[in-house]
Amino acid sequence: MEKIKWVINRMSRTDDRKLEIMSLKNVRQARAFHQSFPQYTVTPLARLDGMADRLGLANVFVKDESFRFGLNAFKVLGGSFAMARYIAREMNKDIQEMTYDYLTSERFREEFGQAVFFTATDGNHGRGVAWAAGKLGQKAVVHMPAGSSRQRFENIAKEGAQVTIEEVNYDDCVRMAAREAEQTLHGVIVQDTAWDGYEEIPAWIMQGYGTMASEASEQLRENEANRPSHVFIQAGVGSLAGAIVGYFTNLYPENPPTFVVMEASAADCLYRSALAGDGEIRTVEGDLSTIMAGLACGEPNTISWDILRNHADAFLSCPDWVSAKGMRMLAVPLKGDPKVISGESGAVGMGVLASIMGSEEYRELREALRLDRFSKVLLFSTEGNTDSEKFRSIVWDGEYPSVETQA
């Protein structure tokens, strides 16, 4: 059985200019925007005391994004805020003027008109962009990579977007969306990956993700846990990871948590970059096949990489069984713990934490991260059950077991 691979971050630091993107002020602006939506509620922070006791930890908390805006995933936070920032810039207005009431008004339609927002997605980001575009009277065009879930495709189509499944991988879908946006009147690409010449919108998307981190920090205080000692965060292109690491680094500048970044082994570009140790980005090509569809990205976000190389403590490359293990553990909790319905890209943190704490095989990693009975661990379940057939296959039927099975 394939093992979790890991590397402790020993890369030299840069001037760290990208950290300012996730300043507390910028995140407050994003959260104020989201709070203007009538659909906004703070998503739950599940406190798993039974699990913490079993694993030998002080606390385990899981931010449950299956409740976000009724869309079953966190991604809408980034896409919607980036769209609002883009509109504000085009109209020469302040972001604070971009409230839900204004953006859905006839006055806004008359003053701005209509743009076409292009994006590539495995499902969650595209659904968020489509939903936000629909609410704000805009158009959305969404491209999905080969092998995408039909259920996720249909969920995007239901939001009114033009959506296709292409015979290429995610990174090629990004390039396709970027080309089409350039060729379209009032077209703009809304993507959470960044490259030279395309960093403004990805930075806004990261700030949108900061709403989730801001909520979690408040909820930790309400649970009298205050500062988490460890934050485990999954990564595809790394935008979410950079956003979470950046926010908590700014929140606790003198004593930041230990940050653990987790990727699918089929698309572990950040792990490979950290393993090389020279600070340069590595990419992963090919079909990037993994059940963690939201993490199947082979080309890192350049903004996030700068934050992560400066502040992440460890990078992990995780086989699919790790996520499947986490899904089962969260769906069938210990007595007294709340249930968390977590999808394939959402549960990898639980699977990783359980493996590190429960197996002597990862003792060296456990000690390197200083995980013990005093540790307060924060995880993010970034999606719920977004592909019902795959979810049942894993949770009901035991697909991708975490132990060797006899034929």
**DSSP per-residue codes, 138-151:** -EEEEEE-TT--HH
Clarify whether 75 is annotated catalytic.
yes
CA 114 vs CA 134, 143, 176, 187, 190: distances in Å:
11, 20, 21, 9, 15
Clarify whether 376 is annotated catalytic.
no
3-state secondary structure 309-348: HHHCCEEEEECHHHHHHHHHHHHCCCCCCCCCCCCCCCCH
Task: Tell me the β-bridge partners of 375.
Answer: none
Nearest to 192 by CA among 200, 202, 184: 202
Angle between the 24-35 and 200-222 helix axes, to the nearest 10 degrees? Answer: 80
Task: Tell me the β-bridge partners of 8.
Answer: 314
Tell me how far apart the alpha carbons of residues 217 and 220 are, in angstroms, rounded to a whole number: 5
Which of 18, 63, 64, 75 is the catalytic position?
75
Which of 63, 64, 122, 390 is the catalytic position?
122
CA 62 to chain centre: 14
Neighbour tally for 200: CB within 10 Å: 14
Do residues 163 and 157 touch, judged by C-beta distance below 8 A?
yes
Do residues 281 and 220 touch, judged by C-beta distance below 8 A?
no
Do residues 366 and 375 touch, judged by C-beta distance below 8 A?
no
Neighbour tally for 1: CB within 10 Å: 9
Pairing of strands 59-64, 230-234: unpaired
> How deeply is 305 buried, as exposed, middle or buried, from its count of CB atoms within 10 A (0-12, 13-18, 19+)?
buried
Report, in angstroms and rounded to the nearest whole number, the Rg of the chain calculated over CA atoms: 20
> How deeply is 363 buried, as exposed, middle or buried, from its count of CB atoms within 10 A (0-12, 13-18, 19+)?
exposed
Q: What are phi and psi of 159, to 5 degrees?
A: -85, 0
User: Active-site residues: which are they?
Assistant: 75, 122
